[in-house]
Every structure is written in structure tokens, then in C-alpha cells.
């Protein structure tokens, strides 16, 4: 068994490395702490496999106001953008990067970690699941990518994200829903539990529409 496989159950710290420091607060005007550097905001690119696809406007506006006032206090975790010199791919912190753009910052603090694609995706899933930032469909899609593209089992996923195997299995079941029903879940009009009850229903789309406050 590889070191990384043995480390799966230890969560984010295992993926970042045993000696990785927790992100530190950065003084927006002072020198960057050890291990932190400043990068032009346009040199950062989002990860196309980022599990989180939806960023609530209200939350983003609030973060933008905070960053405009105090700057980006927590460094953005990045890796070298594959095939592009001088460009950084965001591993964790896309919301901060988006808000920093809206606040018209020209530079942001970054911490560089060299990770492969599976490690990047796992960090993205862990960060968002632990913070409850993913809607159930985003979570299900992220689990599916880890299984289909990278060969992760449900047991391994459960260890990575700190959830039970049954939670992982039940979340993956949401992918059996018709697309129209999935949209109700994404919008928050239908809970994951209610949605799962519709998986075998022949009129799932009609029932979901009735349950939704939007109709």
C-alpha cells in the first residue's frame, strides 16, 4: 500500500504533507510570512475540476467588502499550472480569489504546493465538504469523479472526507435522479433526503415540481 493510500483516512493534513503548516493570517500591508508569497491576481487560474460550481452572490459580496477593507488574510493554496510557466492553478481558495478580483486587488498571498490531479481534487472535496460549502449535487459529482477517474472506492472516499460510507453511498445515489429533479436540489428547493425518495418514482419530475416552492 502506498504512502498516499495509507494517508487517505487522515484527511486534509495528510494530503498537504505531514509538515504542512495551517494557513496563517497575512498582513495586507506588511511583509509576507515564511512560506507565503504574493502573486499577481491575473496569474491565478481556477481549477476546472473544482467541485464547487456555485458561489452565492450574497456571500461573495460580503467577502468582497471584507477583503476591500482588510485584504486577503488567508493565503490561497495553489500549484504550478500544468504547461504554463508563471501561472498558478488554485487548489483551495477560489472564493477568496473571486472576491479579491471584485475588490480590484492586484496581488494576493499564495502558498505553493506541488500536487497531482487526484490530490488537488481530494483537497477541493475535503475543504468544501468540511465547510458544508457544496450543495448535494456538487458533492455527488465530486465523489463520482474521484471514483471514475481516479479509482477511489466508497470506503476510501469516506476516509478522505470524514463521512460514513453510507453517507457517500447515499450522496452518489442522487446521480440517478432526472436532470430536472437535480436542479431542484441544486437550488435548495428539495433536500437530498426528499430527492432520494424520488429516485424510483415514475413521476419524479412532477413530484419534485410540486414540492418546490418555485413550482
Catalytic site residues?
A: 94
Helix, strand, or coil here: 67? Answer: helix
What is the Cα–Cα distance from 101 to 94, expressed in whole angstroms?
11
Burial 133-143 (b: 16+ CB within 10 A, else e): bbbbbbbbbbb
DSSP 103: T
Closest CA relative to residue 70, chosen from 34, 26, 36: 26
What is the Cα–Cα distance from 181 to 214, expressed in whole angstroms?
13
In the chain, count of helices (H) and strands (E)?
A: 11, 5
Grid cell for residue 29: 500591508
Closest CA relative to residue 146, chosen from 167, 124, 128, 163: 124
Let me know the angle formed at the C-alpha of 158 by 46 and 129, rounded to the nearest 5 degrees: 40
Cα 61 to chain centroid, rounded: 19
User: H-helix or E-strand containing 158?
Assistant: helix 154-161
Amino acid at each position: 500500500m502506498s504512502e498516499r493510500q495509507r494517508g487517505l483516512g487522515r484527511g486534509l493534513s495528510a494530503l498537504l504533507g505531514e509538515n504542512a503548516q495551517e494557513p496563517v493570517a497575512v498582513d495586507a500591508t506588511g511583509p509576507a510570512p515564511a512560506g507565503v508569497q504574493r502573486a499577481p491576481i491575473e496569474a491565478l487560474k481556477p481549477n476546472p475540476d473544482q467541485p464547487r460550481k456555485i458561489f452565492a452572490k450574497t456571500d461573495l459580496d460580503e467577502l468582497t467588502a471584507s477583503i476591500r477593507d482588510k485584504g486577503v488574510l488567508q493565503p490561497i493554496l495553489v500549484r504550478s499550472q500544468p504547461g504554463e510557466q508563471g501561472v498558478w492553478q488554485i487548489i483551495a481558495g477560489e472564493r477568496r480569489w473571486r472576491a479579491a478580483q471584485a475588490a480590484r486587488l492586484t496581488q494576493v498571498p499564495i502558498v505553493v504546493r506541488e500536487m497531482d490531479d487526484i490530490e488537488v481534487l481530494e483537497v477541493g472535496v475535503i475543504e468544501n465538504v468540511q465547510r458544508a460549502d457544496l450543495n448535494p449535487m456538487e458533492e455527488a459529482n465530486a465523489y463520482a469523479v474521484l471514483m471514475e477517474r481516479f479509482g477511489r472506492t466508497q470506503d476510501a472516499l469516506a476516509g478522505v472526507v470524514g463521512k460514513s460510507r453510507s453517507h457517500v453511498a447515499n450522496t452518489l445515489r442522487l446521480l440517478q435522479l432526472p436532470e430536472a429533479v437535480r436542479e431542484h436540489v441544486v437550488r435548495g428547493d428539495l433536500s437530498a433526503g426528499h430527492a432520494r425518495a424520488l429516485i424510483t418514482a415514475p413521476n419524479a419530475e412532477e413530484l419534485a415540481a410540486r414540492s418546490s416552492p418555485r413550482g
